[in-house]
Structure 1
Amino acid sequence: MWQRFSQNRKSEVDVEVDENGIIIDEADDDDEEDLSEMLSNYEFEASTEHQPTRFEDLIFEDDDHEITYGRRIARYLTEHGYTWYNPRAANDPDHCGNEHQEETKNGEEGNIDNTLTQSERNLLVEKRGPSLDSAWAYFEHIALPRKLCGNAQYGENVNSYKADPGETMLATELYSYWTTPEDQLGDFGIGIGIYFLSMRIFSCICFIAGLLYIPLIHYYRSDDYSKGPHPNRDSWVLRGSAICIHTMW
């Protein structure tokens, strides 16, 4: 399938794309520079197209197995009506803390046009209380780093593709603290991978030092080091350590 992309509305370049919109081949090999610039503009427009203007308009339908343990606990506390965590449940037993942020003046929920100004929106809607589940969704989808899930068009190593904050067009998932490889820790910030590498080396050094210390511990526990009964040797805190038998601790 061939599509024609315009570059800044001045020139056009023919490229061949597949059903997912990925470039397969270009029609003119002599226009590589224009094509590269056009693609950068096209990717920028695609990334900003149909993006909600407010976080309340973002829709994140996360199942329990896709969220953090903290959010699972929060959902459990709100859904089971614990008033010390969700005070509104005292007056509304059905309140789960995850309702929509706005409702129309007549009490019916609805979608408000994003083109309206804030003052116009205030005339049409009334604010409810803060949504606990929406706050957790913001934390997981905006604050925490996420990666793309699924490898249909991104290769087999999908972990190497970090998702943009608030990504809604493609399915994303949180990084696993058990299976995330070390070479991807750089997505969390500069020096994070070096920090964990240093911790691993330090742990190996401490483990080897502990193995070398085992014969010395055995010597301190034996009669060759301190013969005869002594109350300090019966203490599990001092057992296997170097103690002075002429001093009462």
Structure 2
Amino acid sequence: MTTFSMHARRTLLGAALLFAGLAHADGTTPHYLDDSQLRAAQIVLAPPSPPGSPEDLADRAITERIYAEARGRNDAALAKHEETFDVFAFAQVLGPNFDAKHLPHTAALFTEVQKETAKAVKEAKDYYQRARPCPLDACSTDPEGDAKSAKKKSFGYPSGHSSRAAVFAALLGKLLPQKTDALAMYAHDVGWRRVVRGAHTPQDIYAGRVFGQALARDFLANPNLQHDLDEAAAELKAAGIAE
């Protein structure tokens, strides 16, 4: 695993901020955040607990208990449904009019945000390489019947669902400030259900929240995204979602 000193990572962050919004050498510009900015956001994350440490074992024990207790309940079914999760899951908060088919500008904005967030999360996961939990030997026995799910394919820290939900909630909160608290609560619930699902530990989802908030801050500083947010705001208002 490639390692970076804290000094090197801070230098990387400074460089990303200095060149934010500038064109690439080939004359193209990133839509929202370029690769260096996505990578630099990792500076907000502390390393996860060392494998096998008392803290690590306690963190995994929580997932073992929650997974065992929640199986067969409604939140477990919802957690399975959320394996594929995008911004329009927030219709749970915003109502049925919050729908991709009727909100093309909003859908385009968040499709790009989701793509860039996924790239940042993958880099962070590959950097820390924290193994996912396998409650009740779930990774081998596959009691949920979904052996192709993401929990079999990638590292655990930070949680991608939790990161993505935090980004979505922050950007939607800018569009719909009256819904800020409800959006944040739903994002927290999405993250927690990854523990219910047995795909992450609490440490993974808390890291995802921090990472997502950092990415959201960087997204909101981008003028391209601000322009697209304005278009999305007008669209939401026309759909009767924004007050």
**TM-score for the superposition, normalised by structure 2:** 0.23
Q: Which one has the largest radius of gyration?
A: 1
Structure number having the greater strand percentage: 1
**TM-score for the superposition, normalised by structure 1:** 0.23
Larger RCO (CA under 8 A, 6+ residues apart)? 2
